[in-house]
Structure 1
Amino acid sequence: MPEGAVRGGSRHRSNGRSAIRHGAVAAGLTGSALALVGPAVIALPDTTDDAATTLELSAQGAALADTSSASGPAAAVSPVSGPGTSAASADLIKATERGRAAAAETARQAEARAAEQQRAQQAAAEQERTASVTNCGASGSYGGVADSVQEVGNAMECVFPGHDVLGVGSRGNASDHPSGYALDFMTTSGDAIADCVMDNASDLGVEYVIWNQRINTGSGWEKMEDRGGATANHEDHVHISFERGGSPDVTALRSCG
């Protein structure tokens, strides 16, 4: 082969290789990002028949990237959303509502127990007061008064102990004593007894009360005429007259204790 041809061919191959190299480098830099992960081999055929010229480009874990993309909107993390998150939120709301309902029910039950305990305490206190009225041991018959009158007299002795109580007896004027429907509580401090009896007159079957020269038939206290002495004017005892055939509820006297 002529020398010029060989040299021309060599120059042709050299120019070809140079053009390929420049083209490869230019192609790698034109994109916004190029990542070379592991060795890459590009085989380029030669224009001659003698041999193949191989251009090997190798990069071990290198990456070319557009620096503007690292800080751009693509780096932002979007909030998690979707059907799964909606279901989780609904479950959380339901769990919260169940917790509130359970707390409210617990509070309601506590209030109910406290109210029941208070009612039990009140009932026990009422029973104790009733026992103090009916079971103090008073059992006088007061000269043979009516059973209903004796029941009231015994209960009143429990509430107002320490007084002499008179029942059946003769009187010089009209009186309920001879028939067994009157009691006299002997005292010079009878305001509490007189007020207690009148406050519970309907429950005790009381018709009227005389005390300290005053009479009360249910319409308030009225002044009486002077009869000439402490006993005649009821200044040393409280006189109580009862209805016939009464059925007293002596537990009403608990309010007087």
Structure 2
Amino acid sequence: MPEGAVRGASRHRSPARSAMRHGAVAAGLTGSALALVGPAVIALPDQDPQDAATTLELSAQGASLADTASASSSSVGSAVTPVSEPSGGAASADLIKAAERDRAADAATARRAEADAAAQRQTQQAAAEEERTASVTGCGASGSYGGVADSVQEVGNAMECVFPGHDVLGVGSRGGQSDHPDGYALDFMTTSGDAIADCVIENKGDLGVEYVIWDQRINTGSGWESMEDRGGATANHEDHVHISFERGGSPDVSALRSCG
């Protein structure tokens, strides 16, 4: 081919080669764009290029939205701090302490009530004791019974309060051995002396009594024992209760409140 024809042909093919170069460049740019966007939808051979472009655009937008949602979720999750609930162990401990305080308060209240009740009972018992003691000492009896010992007089006066209406003899001469001359004996004149004799024996220790003779019997604290017949009602102690006392006694006449 002539040189001029060759140059002409070369000039004639330049536009085609230029178009191919432009296509390659465009194809390279498109590949780079697809690589940047991420997963892309490739148009099938029978798919319209315009549809493929639209699909590609929607896929890119979806990927962008998914990334945005993931970032938002991560941001919200990191911003929200879980609220911890109160510790169950601490609450239980507080309840147990409150219950223990209530029990301690109830126990203290019960102890105070019991102490108050005991004090009230003691006061009532003391008042009753004084009243009963007054009943055996406050009747006004004050006889000295001929000058007996003070302890014997105290018992004689108290017994007159419990067993009123009897003549009481004390110091006097007696034939034979007797506690009357020394002022340590009393005679309650009566023919119904069972109650008097029993009362004195029951409280023998408190009254400082040594023995009792009544109705021809003697009792030193070990029971009644019969005595010999002395020939008369007075000698046989059938008309009076004889009471002999210990020397130096300190009687508690309040014991007589159980008698009468």
Residue 93 (structure 2) aligns with: 90
Residue 17 (structure 1) aligns with: 54
How far has the Cα of 1:81 moved from its partner?
A: 6.0
The answer to whether 1:128 aligns with 2:131 is yes
* Equivalence map 1:1-257=2 (5 Å): 11-17=48-54, 84-257=87-260
TM norm structure 2: 0.65
Cα distance in 1 for partners of 2:245, 2:55 equals: 141
The superposition leaves residues 183-227 of structure 1 with CA deviations (integer Å, 9 ceiling, x where unpaired) of: 111223222211221232233222211011110123321111122
How far has the Cα of 1:125 moved from its partner?
A: 1.2
Cα distance in 1 for partners of 2:54, 2:250 equals: 135
Cα distance in 2 for partners of 1:99, 1:176 equals: 69
Cα distance in 2 for partners of 1:114, 1:183 equals: 44
Could you list the structure 1 runs, at least 4 aligned residues long, displaced by more than 6 angstroms after superposition: 24-27
Q: Partner letter of residue 150 of structure 1?
A: Q
Residue 77 (structure 1) aligns with: none
The superposition leaves residues 40-97 of structure 1 with CA deviations (integer Å, 9 ceiling, x where unpaired) of: xxxxxxxxxxxxxxxxxxxxxxxxxxxxxxxxxxxxxxxx866x33222211111111
SS in 1 for 2:91: helix
Q: Whose helix fraction is larger, Structure 1's or Structure 2's?
A: 2
Higher Cα Rg, which structure: 2
Residue 80 (structure 2) aligns with: none
Q: Partner letter of residue 165 of structure 2?
A: G
Taking only aligned residues, the RMSD between alpha carbons, in angstroms, comes to 3.0
How far has the Cα of 1:174 moved from its partner?
A: 3.4
The superposition leaves residues 152-207 of structure 1 with CA deviations (integer Å, 9 ceiling, x where unpaired) of: 10011112222221223343443332333221112232222112212322332222
TM norm structure 1: 0.66
Question: Cα gap change, 1:214/1:24 in structure 2, threshold over 3 Å: closer, same or farther?
Answer: farther
SS in 2 for 1:239: strand
Residue 43 (structure 1) aligns with: none
Cα distance in 2 for partners of 1:202, 1:99 equals: 52
Matched residues, number: 198
How far has the Cα of 1:151 moved from its partner?
A: 1.4
Question: Which is further off, 177-186 or 133-142?
Answer: 177-186
Cα distance in 2 for partners of 1:91, 1:178 equals: 84
How far has the Cα of 1:26 moved from its partner?
A: 9.6
Cα distance in 2 for partners of 1:146, 1:85 equals: 83
Q: Whose strand fraction is larger, Structure 1's or Structure 2's?
A: 1
Q: Percent identity?
A: 78
Cα distance in 1 for partners of 2:237, 2:251 equals: 25
